[in-house]
Structure 1
Amino acid sequence: MRKTPYLALVVAVFQVIASQGAGYNQPDRLPVDALGVVLLLVGPVAMLTTRRFPITSLAATLMATCAYVAVGYPYGPVFLSPIILLFQTVSQGRRKVAWIASALTAAYFLVYSTWLVASPSPGSWHILAIVAVMLLILAAGEMARYRREGRAEHARVAEEESRRQASEERLTMAQELHDVLAHNISLIHVQASTALHLIDDDPSQARSALTTIKAASKEVLGELRSVLNVLREGAPRSPTAGLDRLGDLVERSGLDVSLKQVGSRPLPAQVERAAYRIVQESLTNAARHAPGSRVSVRLEYLPGELVITVGDTGPATPAVLSEEGSGNGIPGMRERAAALGGTLVAGPSGAGFKVEARLPLPEETE
């Protein structure tokens, strides 16, 4: 709760003028003179310095208030500035200072009303009223502090969530870029090696390999553009890779691939993207480690999961790229499956290699 000079001015005018009026209804108290005005102005002046000297300002205000009452000036408006400063002290988190100051002030008024005040005594109800007002002020300050800290915590959590989402988006883009580059560059390398090997003996086969290289290079440029467009304002947030492009992926792989789909149903975007990338990475591994093999790709749509199986029969020719690659292919596929709550198993199967992924699917709605 920030104070302004205007608020301090309003409090000063109110305390001085209203205290003059309060004196008419309290004939047993002294009229407000020059000293009384000075004591009444201590609180408003302290409000101007409370941001730099919060504890000193509160102490000066409470001491001036106690002195004002001890001299015998009228009760009433003098308590406005202490109320404001006590509330601010608690709400800004200086709880211990505020509670101790309140306890000392209450103890002073107890001593004053019992032993120091001239007859007639204000009585115990007067002290109880002061204590109740102080407790009410402190409770209101605690509530204000709690609300302010709650808003600050909410803002902090929202900022952390924003940073986490941005980090996840960067990781997703990095994974997409890895998969796109790994698959297409491996395919280009394999086909380039084939073309160089056959260019003299079998030009038609070399031409086919070069055509595949052309298509793969065009594909990688298109996918890179779609991933990088995510960084541009207003660009679509969903990647373009999907199972509707699986036929093109198989055709460009340069492998002897049989593709079979059992059943069909709409898939969530993240499941479809993960399935495409798992098949893509599996074909990349087959091209790298098992050239010339026969590869089977099977997608089975079950009620609660999508089962992806990619297996090869083993290399028929020496593996050109068997020792190359980042080594992140299978771990990356496992991460994609695990991120969706699924599983992925990869390992030798007879003379070849087999990858099986199970991705959970939501229940179909009629």
Structure 2
Amino acid sequence: MGRKFGLDPYNAVVVAVAQVVFSYGAYYGQPFREPIDAVAVALLLVGPVGVLLRRRFPAGATAAGLVATYVYTWLGYPYGPVYLSPIILLFSLVTLGQRVKAWVMAGVTIVVFITYGYIRSGEPTGLFHDLAVTAFVLLLMVVAELTRIVRERRAQQQRAAEEETRRQASEERLTMAQELHDVLAHNISLIHVQAATALHLIDDNPQQARTALATIKTASKEVLGEMRSVLNVLREGAPRSPTAGLDRLDELIERSGLDVKLERTGTRPLPPQVERAAYRIVQESLTNAARHAPGSAVTVRLSYEPSGLGIEITDDGSTTPPVLAGEGSGNGIPGMRERAAALGGTLTAGPSGRGFRVAARLPLPEENP
């Protein structure tokens, strides 16, 4: 029951003690009122019971507490603490969402007490009494409405924050999945190409086969390192390892096993997401060249412009049979396009003469003067 009602049992006990005990004290200051007897005590306890049950039966508990208060007042018992539970019940009814019922009961309460002032008090109470009763009840209801609005806005903000956290977590998982795909696709493809080359040349050209095996060793070590770097990001509390960037292009080119020429035009700092996308586009392009055009000469051009980064990877065609041309997943070029599009850029890929050309443009924010 404690979990069902929260602090309500404790609140109900406090209200019950306050209303009964202090009503005895109120009688000494109002000797002209009726003395507290068993009926008065019973009526004083109805309100606290309503406080206890207000979350399970909000409208019924409030109505019962108000009626008990009306009867208590009309029987001539002392004013004062008896009005504590009606205040709590009306306030709770608004904050629990039953606003129409709460305002109707508040209006009935105003009418009852104004009528009481003219019928049972023994003397005319006047306009001031009527306005005071009305103002107090309306003030209570306005405060309850404001409290409800604040709570609803706070709950809405919390829901929005939770939704944003879930969205960011989902995006992070997608990013990690894409990173893992790119790391595995490139390095496993490189290992596959070099293994096929080594098998093809092991008898006729052992030295070149040895070079291919050395490349396999380097690539396998690299894929383990990159996988460890990406997976560390998923560990709670782990620092983010540096992601692949254009400063590592020389390493990428060296282990690609291709004759690659790197050209850079201009220079400027790049956002991390652009660095990562550019690196992965070059990486996938070199993977495709190694798979489909082994032995070709490849040119990688990077153009650093004020409004964007231009990337162009071209090869002059295969000089040996592409033994692994049909073993790709088919996701390389679409994956590169998705990376470029995610940053608002574009990417085209297609035959160019005897070879193949990939061209991408990634927009960049304006540099501060």
TM above 0.5, yes or no, is yes
Specify the alignment match of 1:207 in structure 2: 210
Contact kept, 8 Å, 1:91 with 1:143, in 2: the verdict is: no
Specify the alignment match of 1:101 in structure 2: 105
Q: Residue 351 of structure 2 aligns to a residue in which SS?
A: strand
Specify the alignment match of 1:153 in structure 2: 156
Q: Which amino acid aligns with 2:342?
A: A
Match of 2:355 among 345, 352, 357: 352
Structure 2: distance between partners of 1:48 and 1:233: 43
Work out whether 1:294 is the aligned partner of 2:280.
Answer: no
Specify the alignment match of 1:275 in structure 2: 278
Structure 2: distance between partners of 1:132 and 1:176: 65
Specify the alignment match of 2:68 in structure 1: 64
Structure 2: distance between partners of 1:66 and 1:201: 108
Structure 2: distance between partners of 1:2 and 1:298: 67
* Distance apart, 1:309 and its partner CA: 0.8
Tell me the TM-score normalized by structure 1: 0.90
Match of 1:217 among 200, 210, 220: 220
For this pair of structures, how many residues does the alignment match? 365
Contact kept, 8 Å, 1:239 with 1:273, in 2: the verdict is: no
Match of 2:184 among 176, 181, 185: 181
Structure 2: distance between partners of 1:172 and 1:334: 15
Structure 2: distance between partners of 1:36 and 1:232: 65
Specify the alignment match of 1:46 in structure 2: 50
Q: Residue 355 of structure 1 aligns to a residue in which SS?
A: strand
Q: Which amino acid aligns with 2:267?
A: S
* Distance apart, 1:299 and its partner CA: 0.7
1:173-209 per-position Cα deviation (integer Å, ceiling 9, x unaligned): 1111111111111111112222222222222222222
Structure 2: distance between partners of 1:145 and 1:327: 56
Cα 1:12–1:200, aligned 2, differ >3 Å: closer, same or farther? Answer: closer
Percent identical pairs in the alignment equals 67
Work out whether 1:133 is the aligned partner of 2:106.
Answer: no
Structure 1: distance between partners of 2:193 and 2:113: 93
* Distance apart, 1:349 and its partner CA: 2.4
Structure 2: distance between partners of 1:122 and 1:17: 28
Work out whether 1:321 is the aligned partner of 2:324.
Answer: yes
Tell me the TM-score normalized by structure 2: 0.89
* Distance apart, 1:26 and its partner CA: 5.5
Cα 1:100–1:43, aligned 2, differ >3 Å: closer, same or farther? Answer: same
Structure 1: distance between partners of 2:31 and 2:262: 103
Deviates more, 1:104-113 or 1:36-45: 104-113
Structure 2: distance between partners of 1:25 and 1:127: 23
Contact kept, 8 Å, 2:11 with 2:52, in 1: the verdict is: no
Work out whether 1:83 is the aligned partner of 2:87.
Answer: yes
Q: For the aligned residues, what is the CA RMSD?
A: 2.4
Structure 1, gaps ≥5 residues long: none
Structure 2, gaps ≥5 residues long: none
Cα 1:3–1:103, aligned 2, differ >3 Å: closer, same or farther? Answer: farther
